[in-house]
């Protein structure tokens, strides 16, 4: 299947959770988490990591702190460590479950494990059908895997959730190209079917002609044989005078 593929410049990373608001006591956050979060939101994952690690050791049930830790690992390309944190917190992710599953899908996508990536994008959608990044990322994954028909409804769902998306023109262009390809395939299929039908008719006509010719020859041979038998049964009588 040949198709021009447009690269969708999507945020492959799913949205980060909302940063904590209010006092540390109100949010149940310790000092390490506060410092780690401060470094993290200012794009300093190396500085954030030790604080976030200590905060996670102190309280592994704090989902937001664990998310910061996992995403800091991602930014530092420590993907196995990030996956380990995501796996640990996914069963109790609550409102963040879709984001956690989507981020796991992203890691599998980045590391070439397409089957697992689709599994976790789909799980994110089951957690929250309104979570648009999972629809977009699964659509892009399906395009990469050549599953064009399956990608169409995912892109359409994403656009319905994000009507003002800056990527709408690119996605709509891609959808148009996919549909053109399917239309061209249908035309090629119909042409091939018509050509095959015409070939079959020509072959049948030739078969019929040959069969008729052979039958005519057989009938002629039968007639000659019957005449010979009549002649062989005829004996001339001569009378001597």
Nearest one of 45, 97, 94 to 73, comparing CA atoms: 45
pLDDT tens sequence across 65-88: 999 999 999 999 999 999 999 999
User: Token digits for 89?
Assistant: 């917190």
Say how many domains are in the chain. 1
Give the Cα separation of 72 and 60 in Å (integer).
16
- Structural domain containing residue 60: 25-92
Report CA Rg, the chain. Answer: 37
pLDDT tens sequence across 136-155: 999 999 999 999 999 999 99
Do the domain assignments include residue 130? no
Secondary element (H or E) of residue 82: helix 79-89
Do the domain assignments include residue 160? no
CB neighbourhood size of 105 (10 A): 29
Do the domain assignments include residue 114? no
pTM above 0.75, yes or no: no
CB neighbourhood size of 235 (10 A): 5
Contact 6, 170 (CB under 8 A): yes
pLDDT tens sequence across 24-67: 444 445 889 999 999 998 999 999 999 999 999 998 888 989 99
């Amino acid at each position: 299947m040949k198709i021009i593929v447009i690269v969708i410049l999507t945020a492959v990373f799913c949205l980060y959770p909302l940063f904590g608001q209010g006092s540390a006591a109100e949010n149940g956050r310790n000092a390490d988490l506060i410092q780690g979060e401060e470094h993290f939101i200012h794009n300093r994952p190396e500085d954030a990591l030790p604080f976030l690690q200590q905060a996670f050791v102190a309280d592994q049930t704090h989902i937001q702190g664990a998310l910061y830790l996992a995403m800091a690992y991602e930014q530092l390309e420590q993907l196995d460590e990030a996956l380990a944190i995501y796996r640990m917190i996914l069963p109790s992710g609550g409102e963040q479950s879709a984001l956690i599953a989507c981020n796991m899908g992203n890691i599998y996508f980045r590391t070439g494990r397409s089957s697992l990536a689709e599994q976790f994008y789909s799980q994110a959608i089951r957690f929250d059908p309104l979570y648009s990044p999972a629809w977009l990322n699964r659509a892009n994954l399906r395009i990469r895997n050549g599953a064009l028909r399956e990608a169409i409804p995912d892109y359409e769902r994403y656009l319905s959730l994000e009507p003002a998306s800056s990527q709408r023109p690119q996605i709509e262009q891609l959808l148009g190209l996919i549909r053109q390809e399917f239309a061209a395939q249908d035309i090629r299929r119909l042409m091939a079917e018509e050509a095959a039908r015409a070939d079959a008719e020509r072959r049948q006509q030739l078969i019929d002609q040959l069969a008729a010719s052979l039958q005519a020859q057989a009938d002629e041979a039968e007639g000659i044989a019957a005449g010979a038998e009549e002649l062989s049964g005829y004996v001339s009588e001569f009378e001597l005078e």
